[in-house]
Structure 1
Amino acid sequence: MPLGTLDRTPPPFFKQGQSALSKLMLFSALALFLMVADTRFKLTGPIRVAVATALYPVQWAVMRPIEMARGGGAYFVSLDDAQKAKTEAEKRLALQAQRAAQVEQLGLENDRLRKLLALKERTTTPAQAAQVVYDAADPFTRRVMVDKGSIAGIKGGSPVMDESGVLGQVTRVYPLSSEVTLLIDRDHTIPVLNTRTGARSVVYGDPSIHGGTLELRFMAGNADVQQGDILTTSGVDGVYPPGMPVAKVDKVERRADSAFAKIICQPLANTLGARHVMILEPFSVQIPIPASVESAQSAPKKGAKK
């Protein structure tokens, strides 16, 4: 047998079908057809729903250990936070008890002094609670919206405070909501009193866009202002009742090239995350009108028709 007639190619080990190129073209055309059909006729929508429904128990079972691990870690973290919060609450409770005893003693002394000087009792400030709904959309202002309006008796100019101090002032009143301008707004000013020295001054909102501080302006370079001084409302503006905590002096810069000191203060209220607030009536509304002035206002004018 001649050697030239022998087939030198090895026999296929496995049975071979179509070539790889033909298979690639076939499946590519099938994939393109399915994509077009799904886009135009939504053919695979029911299939997706069925597959997702069938795989949901498997996904749920697979996610259980992960969620249990996350829950366990969160439990221990929350337990640690709760213990720290308990310790802090106990410290604050002890401090509040001490302050309550001091306030009670001061109240007795105040009553005795008022009786001795025959002074009238200070009128209590009517207030009502409200909740912050959302921040104002204007990025150049510091304002929030609360869920109480004119229907609830809110008046324009009413002071607003949280549990730590003055938060701002009601500037716009709607029937069901009100707009509160925070005291860190660049257009907001409030007269204050330094509790250490008794000096009156005015604090202004931070003019920067992203700032959250206050500035005590027009104070002489040699003014007696120190870091840590507490500023309260002076009551001279007729809006804020006197004695409400406003801010704490954070930094004092005395510059030789300026006659005024640059004094930065930190607001005591939670101006960036307040949720529940108290809306007070303006102090001018609470000031009683003297009887002589009231009678003069109610007396008929000369020449008026009866």
Structure 2
Amino acid sequence: MPLGTLDRNPPPFFKQGPSALSKLMVCSALALFLMVADTKFRIGQPLRSVVGTVLYPVQWLAMRPVFLARYGGQYFESLSSAQTSEAGARAKLALQSQRANQVEQLALENERLRKLLQLRERVTTPAIAAEVLYDAADPYTRKVIIDKGLTQGIQAGSPVIDESGVLGQVTRVLPLISEVTLVTDREHAIPVLNVRTGARSVAYGDASTHGGSLELRFMAGNADVKAGDLLTTSGVDGVYPPGLPVAKVDKVERRADSGFARIACTPQALVEGARHVMVLKPMTEQIPPRPAPEDPVPLKKGGRK
């Protein structure tokens, strides 16, 4: 091939055009011009608005993973906090419910204690406060166990009262606990006085009914006894102080074929639900001893003292 026919122009890859310094000067001058023009004439503001509007969907899509990661963590953190708060609120609600139930019980207990203290003010006999622990194990008796015994000065035979009236009598004393036989026990008897008529009688326990009751035995068929009569302790036995409520007459049955009336009574004390009681000193402890007989004065001679 003849040399004159060869293309002596360099390939496009090796074409460098203007120098790098020339390009830098041109770009710097253009940038300076644009900055001055934008500062003076605000020519770049419409362009920025157009570019921002066009690129906003792209920016929105590009920021979704960032927002998802950020707000996802906050969501799970808020969910955990909400669950913890809910658990705390449920616990507080349960506690408040328990306290509300206890308030009713405490109010009833407070009322009973106030009544008990008012009853105690009318009794001049020394007393010891006690609490009922549990019922006796024997199912055929009506007895309870209290938390006071010989150590606290409890004596056998001591009367026991609650806020409503006579509950029973101490029949067994141990060092730390005592056994109280309730007035509804079939082996228990207590002298009573009818407040309306002043007639004395004896009330016996009757455990055959549900909850227990009392019965006036050996009362004449024409005895002046009516339903609703209040029976109190008569004080003639030397054990119970007089005037303590014992029972109310519930029903009177007069039979023509019998000379005695059947009289059922309801105890005034809470024989099935007493909790706080007072143990009184037996009346025999307060009765002064009988004075000893004086020795006869010897007579002087002549028949004179």
The question of a shared fold, defined as TM-score above 0.5 by the shorter chain, is answered with yes
Which residue of 2 is the match for residue 243 of structure 1? 243
Deviation of 1:291 (Å):
2.9
Which residue of 1 is the match for residue 157 of structure 2? 157
Unmatched tracts of structure 1, length 5 or more: 1-58, 104-122, 297-306
Q: Aligned equivalents of 2:144 and 2:179: distance in 1?
A: 6
Q: Aligned equivalents of 1:186 and 1:60: distance in 2?
A: 59
Deviation of 1:77 (Å):
8.2
The aligned runs of 1:8-23 (5 Å cut-off) are none
The aligned runs of 1:4-153 (5 Å cut-off) are 124-153=124-153
Q: What is the root-mean-square deviation of aligned Cα atoms in Å?
A: 3.5
Contact map agreement 2:232 2:244 (CA 8 A) in 1: yes
Q: Aligned equivalents of 1:60 and 1:271: distance in 2?
A: 48
CA gap of 1:70–1:158, structure 2 versus 1, over 3 A, is same
Which residue of 2 is the match for residue 193 of structure 1? 193
Between structure 1 and structure 2, the one with the greater Rg is 2
Q: Aligned equivalents of 1:176 and 1:74: distance in 2?
A: 32
Deviation of 1:67 (Å):
6.7
Equivalenced residues, count? 206
Deviation of 1:124 (Å):
3.1
Contact map agreement 2:211 2:271 (CA 8 A) in 1: no
Contact map agreement 1:160 1:278 (CA 8 A) in 2: yes
TM-score (norm 1): 0.58
Contact map agreement 1:133 1:145 (CA 8 A) in 2: yes
CA gap of 1:172–1:64, structure 2 versus 1, over 3 A, is same
What's the CA shift string for 1:82-127, capped at 9, x where partnerless?
Answer: 9x98xxx7xx99xx9xxx9xx9xxxxxxxxxxxxxxxxxxx93111
CA gap of 1:69–1:203, structure 2 versus 1, over 3 A, is same
Q: Aligned equivalents of 1:157 and 1:78: distance in 2?
A: 35
Which residue of 1 is the match for residue 261 of structure 2? 261
Q: Aligned equivalents of 1:209 and 1:252: distance in 2?
A: 16
Which residue of 1 is the match for residue 177 of structure 2? 177
Which residue of 2 is the match for residue 219 of structure 1? 219
Matched, 1:202 2:197: no
What's the CA shift string for 1:173-198, capped at 9, x where partnerless?
Answer: 10111100001001100000001100
Q: Aligned equivalents of 1:215 and 1:176: distance in 2?
A: 33
Deviation of 1:292 (Å):
3.6
Q: Aligned equivalents of 1:194 and 1:289: distance in 2?
A: 30
- Aligned-pair identity (%): 62
Contact map agreement 1:151 1:175 (CA 8 A) in 2: yes
Question: Which residue identity is paired with 1:176?
Answer: L
Aligned to 2:284, what secondary structure does the other structure show?
helix
Contact map agreement 1:216 1:262 (CA 8 A) in 2: yes
Deviation of 1:289 (Å):
1.8
Contact map agreement 1:233 1:244 (CA 8 A) in 2: yes
CA gap of 1:211–1:256, structure 2 versus 1, over 3 A, is farther
Q: Aligned equivalents of 1:195 and 1:124: distance in 2?
A: 20
Deviation of 1:63 (Å):
7.3
Question: Which residue identity is paired with 1:147?
Answer: D
Question: Which residue identity is paired with 2:270?
Answer: N
Q: Aligned equivalents of 1:135 and 1:78: distance in 2?
A: 23
The runs of at least 4 aligned residues of structure 1 exceeding 2 Å deviation read 59-79, 290-293
Contact map agreement 1:140 1:209 (CA 8 A) in 2: no
Q: Aligned equivalents of 2:270 and 2:163: distance in 1?
A: 9
Q: Aligned equivalents of 1:145 and 1:237: distance in 2?
A: 24
